[in-house]
A and B are shown apart, each in its own frame.
Chain A
Amino acid sequence: MDALTAVVIVISSFIIYASLETAGNYSSLLRVVDVSVDRAQEILDTPQMDISGEVISPETKDITAQDITFSYEKRNVIDGISLHIPEKTTTAIVGPSGGGKTTLVNLLARFWDVSRGTVSLGGRNVKAYDMDSLMSNYSFVFQSVYLFHDTIANNIRFGQPDAPMEDVIAAAKKACCHEFISALPDGYDTVVGEGGASLSGGERQRISIARAMMKDAPVIFLDEATANVDPENENELMKAIQALTAEKTVIMIAHRLKTVEHADQILVVDHGRIVQQGTHASLMEQDGIYKDFIGQRREAASWKVKQ
């Protein structure tokens, strides 16, 4: 080997191994890349609910559950419930804590799929619906309201981003929140904090009702919507709920006597089963959980602070 060749070997090795050195320095991070890809893919590989269905516009908005059962962690949370909720009626679901009320509502709304039995909307199994098509029939007002870090107007028009301001204001008026919104320095352009932290519970709840009104869905689920309301807001909130639920199929989980006693039917759920069913008047004639429930509330309402 001549001198030139030897020198070229030495010099070219620096050039070649420079890029190899860089590759070597970073190649240890390939394992982090590997795990990162696996983590992201894990979520994408999690089986979804069966959302393959048709876009259906049901002719009627009645809801039926036929012998539904739901298990969670090897425990039957809902055990063989059958019910029928005619359209444009109000059904109140009451019962002891942990009895399965919220789970039942979640199953009727198809947040979870039943383990056995069927849930139908308008005579069609909810699984036959395309998921978005099914959800377009439902509006929800939850006990715990979440408002997004955005303006009040955008929170109200959340489900319909292109809705004009007039519609937003009309919904807010029906939901009895127009006055307090207008009183804010920026009005409808007021940016609420993450989760709506800058508003009171009652105010958040009424905005949530306005949001549900904007959607104008035929079926309304109320999950303890009035649970966290203070007396000052209660009147306004009840008016808002009445406006929301007029001529709709309503399913509500409620604890307040005022809300429950006017329902078209009351379902008493305990240990995953319907133990009593009927109107307020008919249930008050039977001994059971409902009569005790009403008795306790009346007793609590009559409590006064001794002076």
Chain B
Amino acid sequence: MLKVIKKFFAFCGKENRHKFIISVWLSVFQAVFEALKIPAIAAMIRALMRGNVETTDILLSLGIMLVSIIGAGLIKAKASMLQTEGGYDTCARKRVEIAEHMRYLPMGYFNANSLGQITSVTTNVMENLENVATRVVMLVCEGLLTTSLIIVMIAFFDWRIALVLLAGFALFLLANSRLQVAAGKLAGTKISADEKLVEKVLEYLQGKLHCKTHRRGDGGVLLCLLLRRQYGRPDRCRDSDFFLHHLCQS
């Protein structure tokens, strides 16, 4: 997990890495504000257990909650902005970098690699990195950091509580490591499937005249695959000829 996060930060470049790191540190402060809910709740519970809830107890609890919510909200907004900027800028630069790099590749590269594969990297993959990856990496970092810091803060309050929470955290990490192994087996398949899909769509569109004149079942089969993937409606596959006709007419 940490290896992937480190790889992503290296991929982003210095400037955007700086933005992401600031965003992560902001999440530290956000964690402090989030943790304020615990003393707010503790204050109310103490008052209830005392059997005498006074106005000061209520105001104290509400005051802490308000500070917690506002503080966390403001920091979260700033952190989200930085993440969005960082993600967008990273991928914009990388697309330009890839285009520039491809300008000086020997022409044999484009014979050896399919247009679909290259297109998929500059579209699907980069979109994954821009939208999904930024969110994922930040949420995972925030989750781990927030939890760690709250446990440390609680340790000052009561070490037994901290110990119990630490045990839960350790269980989470263990479960997560198994999850990573399972997800790792599928991740490569997913990306390859995306590449194949783009490749086939481009091939179909580039050869649309041939599909139209030859009316091969291949076009229908491809459409079935596209429809299944996009709409999840296998019943439409029986109308594959209709869709082939419709696509060629449009």
Contact = CB atoms under 8 A, between A and B. Distances in A.
Interface of A: 1, 3-5, 7-9, 11-13, 15-17, 19-24, 26-37, 39-44, 46, 48-49, 51, 72, 106, 111-113, 131
Interface string B79-112: 0000000000000001001100110111111000
A34 B7 contact: yes
Given A4-B42, A20-B169, A24-B172, A36 B143 contact: no
B101 A44 contact: yes
A16 B153 CA distance: 12
B126 A30 contact: no
Please classify how large the interface on chain B is, using the bins under 10, 10 to 19, 20 to 34, 35 or more.
35 or more
Given A27-B176, A32-B132, A40 B126 contact: yes
A190 to B, nearest CB: 23
Interface in B130-181: 132-133, 135-137, 139-140, 142-144, 146-147, 150-151, 154, 158, 160-161, 164-165, 168-169, 172, 175-176, 179-180
22 contacts: A3-B49, A12-B38, A12-B161, A13-B164, A19-B31, A20-B146, A23-B142, A26-B136, A30-B137, A31-B4, A31-B183, A31-B184, A33-B136, A33-B137, A35-B191, A37-B7, A40-B129, A43-B102, A46-B101, A49-B106, A111-B107, A131-B104
Nearest to A135: B103
B4 A33 contact: yes
A43 B98 contact: yes
Given A8-B45, A16-B147, 18 more contacts: A5-B160, A5-B161, A8-B41, A12-B150, A16-B146, A22-B139, A23-B140, A31-B180, A31-B184, A33-B133, A35-B187, A39-B191, A40-B121, A40-B129, A43-B121, A46-B105, A48-B101, A51-B104
Interface string B11-33: 10000000000000000000100
A5 B107 contact: no
Nearest to B91: A40
B105 A49 contact: yes
B173 to A, nearest CB: 10
Nearest to A30: B4
A235 B163 CA distance: 89
A156 to B, nearest CB: 21
Contacts of B126: 40
Contacts of A34: 4, 7, 184, 187
A283 to B, nearest CB: 31
Contacts of B190: 32, 35
Contacts of A3: 49
A19 B106 contact: no
A30 B136 contact: yes
B243 interface: no
A31 B181 CA distance: 9
Interface of B: 1, 4-5, 7-8, 11, 31, 34-35, 37-38, 41-42, 45-46, 49, 94, 97-98, 101-102, 104-109, 118, 121, 125-126, 128-129, 132-133, 135-137, 139-140, 142-144, 146-147, 150-151, 154, 158, 160-161, 164-165, 168-169, 172, 175-176, 179-180, 182-184, 186-188, 190-191
A237 to B, nearest CB: 24
A29 B142 CA distance: 15
Taking chain A's interface residues, is the majority helix, strand, or loop, or is none over half, making it mixed?
Answer: helix
A20 to B, nearest CB: 5
Nearest to B41: A11
Contacts of A46: 101, 105, 109
Contact of B37 (A15, A29, A37, A51): A15
Contacts of B101: 43-44, 46, 48
A88 B42 CA distance: 91
Q: Which 8 pairs between the two chains have the least Cβ-Cβ distance?
A: A23-B143, A31-B187, A48-B104, A28-B183, A31-B183, A33-B133, A19-B146, A31-B184
B176 A29 contact: no
B161 A112 contact: no
B136 A15 contact: no
A291 B215 CA distance: 44
A20 B147 CA distance: 7
Nearest to B181: A31
Contact of B94 (A13, A21, A32, A40): A40
Given A8-B45, A12-B150, A48 B161 contact: no
Nearest to A106: B107
A112 B104 CA distance: 10
A27 B165 contact: no
Most A Cβ at <10 Å: residue of B106, B137, B188: B106
Contacts of A111: 106-107
Contacts of B180: 27-28, 30-31
Nearest to B192: A35
A298 B176 CA distance: 77
A17 B151 CA distance: 11
A271 B108 CA distance: 20
A51 B105 CA distance: 10
Contact of A16 (B107, B150, B179): B150
Nearest to A113: B106
